Structure 1
Amino acid sequence: MESEFPLELQSETFKVLSSNDDTAMETLFTNLYNNNNQHHQNQNRSKSLTFLQCCKHHHPDLLMIKLFYLLTSSPQIPTRTNAARALNFINPAHLWPKLRPQAQSRLQAHFIKYLTSETSIHVLRLASLILSQTISVIYQNQNQNQNHQHWKEILDFLFSSVNSNDEKLLEFSLLVFASLSQDCRLNLSKYLNDAVKVLHSSFLSSLANSTNPNVQVASFGAVVNLIQFFSEPSLFHELLRAMMVAVFSLLHGYEKSYFKTAFGELIKLVSAEPCLLKPYMSDMVLDSLQIAENNGVSNETRRLAFELVMAMTELKECDQMMMNLPYETVVRLFIVPVKTLILSVEDKLDKEEKGKGVTDGENEKVVDGDDDDVYEFGIKCLKKLCVSFEERKVVDVCYELLMKHYLDSADWKMRHAGITLLTVIAKEFSDEMVLMENFLGEMVTKILKLFQDSHVQVRLAAFTLMEMPINFVQAAQILYHHRFVHAFTIALGSDQDNKVKEQVASAMLFFLKNTLPDSLALFPNVDTLMNKLLSMIKDKGNAKQRSIALSTFNLVAQRCHEVVHKYFANYLLILLEACSDRSSEIKEEAARGIRICAEFGSPSFKPFINMILSELSNLMKDPSRSISENAKACDVAVSAIGRICECHRDSIDRSLIVPVWLSFLPLKDDLVEAKIMHDQLCLMVGRLDKDLLGPGNQNLVKIITVFLEVIEKGDKLATTQTINHINNLLRQFGQNIPPSVFETILLSLNPQQRELLLPFVSSF
């Protein structure tokens, strides 16, 4: 087997590990753990890591013995600290089984003796991890290796230390118990069962009586890790009560890091042993609320306290308890994450502002933050709470909070939090909100008021809500469509913030797409709306706002044909200019607008034909059309040419333009326009359009090829009706075209196309 590391390095590592001189190991530690002179240090650290990995791979026994020796024998605390860090890095559980029994016995004896003499609590904390891993591998393997030596002496030492007055040894033993692996705990059960009462008493004393926060926190870990030994109700009850008292003691008495670690163990306990905790969970919810509602705690502490509730929402065992919580408690539960939104919204907005103008990779870091994003945590909590309670209770709570506290608050952050709460709840319980008496109407009134809010972020959130594809929004749009059209129109002309104006246009476009086609006919002032949209389109300061406005105008033009006639000249010139815009979205919508004008435009379209054809031709020949975004704009331009061929043929050189249009088919990038054009092709073929077929039907092969490509894609490029029409046309070709002609056609197709066509030709 080929060596993983060079022989020269193997020899060097053996020499260092076998030597009585510890200088080389001291240098190794310096390179690994000294942070001075970063650039030079990184090079040395890399070499030292390679050296250590070579030792572990080729001389594991010598490495283990050397590091244990430095840990237990060096007079220097930094050396003992670094030896302990290196042992944890290489993982003693991997190396211990590779030692000979004599070496294991020697190390065991030295280690116990060392523990009683170590003066540094920091070193002992590191050593606790080493010992827990070593004990774990010893007792984990005892059933696999009957000759394996147990280490009963260390268990006796730990039981003695956990009752010791020496706080260093007490904390050390608790840390060891807190880190034992699950397999080890199972195999240790016969030893620990005999000492359950002793451990229970010791852990209880450490939690309730110790004035040392490090001891208290270590006892949390030990209790949680060995909780299976304390499942007897009276034992568990006493420990849990002591833990809750200690948590509040740590919260008020010491720096937050102690509380964070201890409470983290409680959260772990909830997830690991929900059945044991079931009788106490409602009280734990109230305790978590008491912490989270405390104005004197930090956002991090409030979040941590609520993590306990979130852990419960994910457990089946907690379902009934959550459902049975009193209404007042549910209200309090929802207020906590909403308060988080209020307190963190400015930080969120600052992050978004700082994220502007940086590269995409950097923007993800700045805007999205990391797992500690407080605002996003508030949103996540609201979503989880929604899942935990029945619909009616959540909607009732939402109604009370929104109507009494948030949407009419003088503080913009509370109004913003209110609209965010409404958005989250509406995603989950739209149907219940729509059916609840007066809820929809009252919320619509509040939302319309927020459209004109004094704070830009509140307006932005309100318009964003109205773009959500949920039943609540759709019901509001249908039942109160006249109020929304009026409100959108006012906002388009009055809002001075470009981002809000863009969101208004986007929300209005969403509204128009999801309401009945004749809804605009009921709107008492379309001219006002069109003028404001044209004003937005002419404003070249915001490309995205110019694209949404074009889309909206196009949609209105499709539904209100008279609009095209009234605004034709002004609008068409804007569209022609937009065809050469740098934005692919704007070019796409400009071409779509021309297609709509071609469909519904008046005879005044004729004077612009040459300009239109020129701009569309440039779009279709755009060298960047291979890019998917520009490819869609090209498809829409082809569609516009198609409509001109269909509706304004007398104004063009049809014998030239129609074949050019055909040459760009089938369309494959803009699927909406593809279905329109392929249907038009069927209609033209069905009426034996001479300009399309060409002299002597010379374009028939191209037409059949387009049909076959469309069929091959299924319903992606055409509606079911169009595909059926294509099949019928191909069947007619097969019946009416002479076999000799069809044979020529078949030879011009590729094998896959021939296979698709043959079933339509009876003579073959």
Structure 2
Amino acid sequence: MASTTESSSPPQEASLRNPFDPDINTPPRNRLHERINKRRSIEENQDRSLIHGFELRQHAERFLLSNDLSSLQEAIDEYSQTRNQSLFTIFKSFTLHYPNAFSFKLIKILKLQPNLQRRSQTVDLLKVEFKNPTSRMCSIILTALKNPLLYSLKVESEEILFRSLCEMIALFTERLYIFSLGGWEELLEYVCDCITGDEKLENQKGLMMLMEFPVNVFQDREFWLNQGNLYRVVLSISKYVSSMDQELKALAYDSSISLILLSNDFLKNEVSNSLLRNLLNIIDQHGEEEVLVNRINRLWELVKLDDGSIFMGKHGEVFWCMIRVAEVEDVSEELKIVSFNVIKDLYDGNVITNLSREELKRVLVVAINMLSCIVDDPLWYDVDHENRLTAGMADAYYRGVFLCNALCFDGDQGVFVPMAIETITMNYASNLDWKLRHAAIFTIGWIAEINFKGDMIQYFDQVASLVLKLLDDLNPRVLWATMQAINCLSEYKDQLMLAEYHLKFLAKLVPISISNSCTCLQLYAVTAIHSLVKQCGLDKISTFGEPIIESLLVLLKHEKQKIQVEAIDTLKSFAVLTPETFRQNYYETTVEALKVIVFDEHSLPGPLISAKCLECMVYLVRKVGPDNFKEQEADLVMESLISLDGKLSNTEYLAKCIIVQALDQICRCPSVSIDKFIHKLVLMLLGSTQPHLDLAVDKFKDDNDKHLVETMIVQACNTFSYCAVRSSIKFSLHTGKVTAMFVRLLGCSSFQIRKASILGLPNLLLSLKVADKKIDAKRGLTFFVVQALLEALKKETDKGFFLNKTDKVFYTIVLRILARCIQTSSSFVNDQLIKVIADGINDTARKIIKIEIEKAQEVVASEDRCESLPTEDTLQEVANLIATTIDTLRDRFILHVDDLMSNAVVFLADDNPDRPIAFAISIFNVTFPLFPDKLPP
């Protein structure tokens, strides 16, 4: 029985092992294997440019282990003479693996005061040692090295070695402070004594040491402030500034900058100001140009490091110091640039604002001289070159632009404008140097542009006369700058027409646009004409209307594409501004000229020109002409546009954008039957937009390209939407593909694209009504669109209401379009979709009211309106969506009315703000008339 009982009992569970049980033996460790792996890991991570391990040990035994210094000295001498890289590798390896022994040996050699070559090389090796961030020197060695190093500094008498020795000791000093080894007051005292002493060599050592000191040195406020050492040093430095000794003066300059940077935390204003005056006084002495450039560059570095405390209240002094440098006769371009770097980075508009007339004139003269820093680069004459307008403009030119803008924006315009016009007229407009004339007329243009409707109006006649005179200049660059000035003056419409300057300008511009041998000038002349006509109107220049149109028609055949483009745009602009005048006098001639360019078998225009001509032709027919295409002409234009698009690459954005715009215009022409083109048109538009559906900001390096693609997609969406209604039967064959594209664009980053796509969805659904599709296909497409809109609604709601104004606008549009789509496609809405709609509406209403209540509670204390609250339009559109849905679906929506009413009851809570209660009442108002029995008790 016992055995039976035992056999029938369940097996005992194995107990968990205690890993700390002393009776359990741990598995044996393979220590040899571990060592091998560790060694291998170390070797893999070692610097391959150095020597390690046993190979380095034999060198260490030779140079470092014995007390004898001769072998190491011989190696240093050999390296100095031969630059043997294998020796230098050994030395660098010592700094990593034997830093204490190696540095100790080197300093012992230095203390012996060997010959100059050996001392110099020893100092360089110590610099390598102390500069090495991976060097592991112990604190005992660091402390022990202080006295020998200080001794070496004191006894050194070779000027050539001062700089390197000071750099090395500064690196060592930084180590001391990093390891908190009590600083090095003996060194600080010696440096101060050197600076304030009478010996030149000692002065040089002290100033160089001060320049190289790490910032940690100035943590010792007791030494620098309480003991008065800082003031001693500053006083002595000020003395060297006025010294005739150029070496000490240079060192005083550099040490002043170092002292300002290093001790800025506890420098008092009068001390900082004194040091800054030192710098400006030395710069004002000018001297050799190379030295002056270096000094101003050092000052610029200080400016860039300033946190606002160093130059506080000193902007004017620095500004005039730099202006005085730039005023020097025959000053180099480099010196102009470095001085204006300081002005630009330390600029304070108040400095310019408070200048007198004579001071403004001095600054203007400097600015014009800077603007004259250009060369006549051949690239400027290449109208097709991308950077032609900036060709030949030196860096100094752009500094002049900055200073000129500063005068125009910040100067007292009542003083500056008349002074500038007078100075330019008298001193520069007739100057023999074309560069100065170029700079002067550019300045006039900027003054006119920036001072629009200001004091410039009083002096307009004087400026316009000057510009008119310079239109006769023989230099192309000056003539171009003059045309740019005309573009600015064209804004002064009343003043132009009062003295008929617009006619006087045109009398000279029209001949230039036709016959000038410089292509660039022809282009800019057309641009200036365009600007004048745009502002004044073609009817105001009727005497030049025909010559201008004739010149533009001639330029349509120009060999340069840019001129052709500008001519087409100008013609189009004329037509827009004065349609009646253009229709009566120039319409037929212009359209015929455009036809010849595009359709003549001997004409070979490029894709862009073809697109521009076709688009202009369609535009003129629609907006200026009879808005009535002959069928044959319409067919030819439509076929040409579609064919032209097929020849373009996906990256020819401008031409594609123009083609899409032209197609949209011709589709909207009442006399054109688009049914026969719908298939080709839809395929072309889909092909043009498909590669860019994921319009990402980072995809386009050029903002202009991004804008063109955005415009093209928006225009394509508008064209699809229009064609879906006008040619609904033919278009319905493509509704599925176009709808899929529109829904995809709902997630685009561009607001304009999202807006265009969502606005077109109701028209796409409208085309389903006449589509030759099965009812299930129509229901499926309706479900797809409505669900996508509900998802977009949810996404916008989840943002938290709302990130910006654009989000609010888009949210309102989604609500409105969703209601229209439900209304349009009610016959294709099944029970499943009705439930999706009801859930989406309820979810949206709950979230909106929740956010409304939370935000309202947040602003109770401040009594300010919260910008992130839903707008009145948003709440109204939600109410309209509910009303439209209930009115459209009626009894089919009855199953979901209870949930809607339950939400509305919650919104009526007494402690809720007024807006949620009003919103709930609006829900009851639209629901009760149709479902009176659903009113909650």
Task: With the length of structure 1 as denominator, give the TM-score of the two structures.
Answer: 0.76
Q: Distance in 2 between matches of 1:78 and 1:305?
A: 40
Amino acid at match of 1:693: I
Matched, 1:132 2:152: no
Number of the residue aligned with 1:547: 565
- Structure 1 pair 169–415 and aligned structure 2 pair: CA distance change class (3 A): same
Q: How much has 1:345 moved relative to structure 2? A: 2.0
Q: Distance in 2 between matches of 1:120 and 1:83?
A: 15
Number of the residue aligned with 1:293: 327
- Structure 1 pair 593–73 and aligned structure 2 pair: CA distance change class (3 A): farther
Matched, 1:447 2:467: yes
Q: Distance in 2 between matches of 1:364 and 1:25?
A: 59
Q: How does 1:122-201 map to 2 (within 5 A)?
A: 122-139=160-177, 141=178, 145=180, 148-187=181-220, 189-191=222-224, 193-194=226-227, 195-201=229-235
Number of the residue aligned with 1:407: 429
Contact 1:71 1:81 in 2 (8 A): no
Q: How much has 1:112 moved relative to structure 2? A: 2.2
Number of the residue aligned with 1:92: 131
Which deviates more from structure 2 when the two are superposed, residues 705-714 or residues 499-508?
705-714
Which deviates more from structure 2 when the two are superposed, residues 48-57 or residues 163-172?
48-57
Greater helix share, 1 or 2? 1
Contact 1:289 1:305 in 2 (8 A): yes
Contact 2:195 2:236 in 1 (8 A): yes
Q: Distance in 2 between matches of 1:17 and 1:561?
A: 98
Number of the residue aligned with 1:637: 659
Q: How much has 1:744 moved relative to structure 2? A: 0.6
Amino acid at match of 1:420: F
Q: How does 1:376-415 map to 2 (within 5 A)?
A: 376-386=398-408, 388-415=410-437
Which deviates more from structure 2 when the two are superposed, residues 192-201 or residues 706-715?
706-715
Q: How much has 1:587 moved relative to structure 2? A: 4.2
Amino acid at match of 2:574: V
- Structure 1 pair 157–403 and aligned structure 2 pair: CA distance change class (3 A): same
Amino acid at match of 1:417: A
Contact 1:705 1:749 in 2 (8 A): no
Q: Distance in 2 between matches of 1:580 and 1:79?
A: 82
Number of the residue aligned with 1:37: none
Query: Number of aligned pairs?
Result: 710
- Structure 1 pair 213–92 and aligned structure 2 pair: CA distance change class (3 A): same
SS at match of 1:417: helix
Contact 2:293 2:335 in 1 (8 A): yes
Q: How much has 1:594 moved relative to structure 2? A: 4.1
Per-residue Cα deviation, 1:515-534 (whole angstroms, up to 9, x for no partner) = 48x54675333332222222
Q: Distance in 2 between matches of 1:212 and 1:63?
A: 40
Number of the residue aligned with 2:150: 112
Number of the residue aligned with 2:911: none
Q: Distance in 1 between matches of 2:145 and 2:259?
A: 26
- Structure 1 pair 482–719 and aligned structure 2 pair: CA distance change class (3 A): farther
Contact 2:211 2:254 in 1 (8 A): yes
Q: How does 1:316-715 map to 2 (within 5 A)?
A: 323-342=353-372, 344-346=373-375, 349-350=376-377, 373-386=395-408, 388-425=410-447, 429-431=450-452, 434=454, 436-465=456-485, 474-476=491-493, 480=497, 482-483=502-503, 488-509=509-530, 515=535, 519=538, 522-540=541-559, 542-557=560-575, 559=579, 560-562=582-584, 563-576=586-599, 585-596=608-619, 599=622, 612=637, 615-622=640-647, 624-627=648-651, 629=652, 631-641=653-663, 643-644=665-666, 647=669, 655-665=675-685, 668=689, 679=718, 682-683=721-722, 685-686=724-725, 688-689=726-727, 693-694=729-730, 698-701=733-736
Which deviates more from structure 2 when the two are superposed, residues 70-79 or residues 440-449?
70-79
- Structure 1 pair 87–590 and aligned structure 2 pair: CA distance change class (3 A): farther
Amino acid at match of 2:522: K
Q: Distance in 1 between matches of 2:424 and 2:599?
A: 48
Contact 1:538 1:574 in 2 (8 A): yes
Task: With the length of structure 2 as denominator, give the TM-score of the two structures.
Answer: 0.63
Q: Distance in 2 between matches of 1:279 and 1:642?
A: 61
Amino acid at match of 2:212: S
Q: How much has 1:375 moved relative to structure 2? A: 1.9
Amino acid at match of 1:456: P
Q: Which has the higher contact order (CA 8 A, sep 6+)?
A: 1
Amino acid at match of 1:493: I
Which deviates more from structure 2 when the two are superposed, residues 446-455 or residues 351-360?
351-360
- Structure 1 pair 70–740 and aligned structure 2 pair: CA distance change class (3 A): farther
Contact 1:434 1:475 in 2 (8 A): no
Q: How much has 1:325 moved relative to structure 2? A: 3.5
Q: How much has 1:206 moved relative to structure 2? A: 2.4
**Structure 1: runs of 5+ lacking an equivalent:** 35-43
Q: Distance in 2 between matches of 1:568 and 1:354?
A: 31
Q: Distance in 1 between matches of 2:314 and 2:669?
A: 76
Amino acid at match of 1:411: D
Amino acid at match of 1:328: E
Q: Distance in 1 between matches of 2:605 and 2:157?
A: 72
Amino acid at match of 2:649: R
Q: How does 1:215-294 map to 2 (within 5 A)?
A: 215-227=248-260, 245-249=281-285, 251-252=286-287, 255-264=288-297, 272=306, 286-294=320-328
Q: How much has 1:626 moved relative to structure 2? A: 2.0
Contact 2:379 2:385 in 1 (8 A): no
- Structure 1 pair 456–333 and aligned structure 2 pair: CA distance change class (3 A): same
Contact 1:451 1:487 in 2 (8 A): yes
Q: Distance in 2 between matches of 1:129 and 1:753?
A: 74
Contact 2:377 2:391 in 1 (8 A): no
SS at match of 1:218: helix
Percent identical: 15
Matched, 1:10 2:43: no
Amino acid at match of 2:203: L
Per-residue Cα deviation, 1:178-204 (whole angstroms, up to 9, x for no partner) = 233334323355246422353244323
Q: Distance in 1 between matches of 2:251 and 2:139?
A: 32
Q: Distance in 1 between matches of 2:643 and 2:78?
A: 70
Q: Distance in 2 between matches of 1:128 and 1:189?
A: 23
Contact 2:166 2:205 in 1 (8 A): yes
Amino acid at match of 2:752: K
Q: How much has 1:153 moved relative to structure 2? A: 2.4
SS at match of 2:52: helix
Q: How much has 1:486 moved relative to structure 2? A: 5.2
- Structure 1 pair 367–587 and aligned structure 2 pair: CA distance change class (3 A): farther
Q: How much has 1:492 moved relative to structure 2? A: 0.9
SS at match of 1:573: helix
Q: Distance in 1 between matches of 2:123 and 2:439?
A: 49
- Structure 1 pair 626–375 and aligned structure 2 pair: CA distance change class (3 A): same
Number of the residue aligned with 1:40: none
Q: How much has 1:100 moved relative to structure 2? A: 1.8
Contact 1:501 1:545 in 2 (8 A): yes
Q: How much has 1:341 moved relative to structure 2? A: 2.2
Contact 2:76 2:118 in 1 (8 A): no
Q: How much has 1:378 moved relative to structure 2? A: 2.1
Q: How much has 1:574 moved relative to structure 2? A: 0.8
Q: How much has 1:621 moved relative to structure 2? A: 1.8
Amino acid at match of 2:204: E
Q: Distance in 2 between matches of 1:609 and 1:425?
A: 49
Q: Distance in 2 between matches of 1:387 and 1:236?
A: 32
Contact 1:598 1:648 in 2 (8 A): no
- Structure 1 pair 750–256 and aligned structure 2 pair: CA distance change class (3 A): farther
Q: Distance in 2 between matches of 1:226 and 1:693?
A: 84
Q: How much has 1:336 moved relative to structure 2? A: 1.3
SS at match of 1:626: coil
SS at match of 2:374: helix
Q: Distance in 2 between matches of 1:106 and 1:287?
A: 48
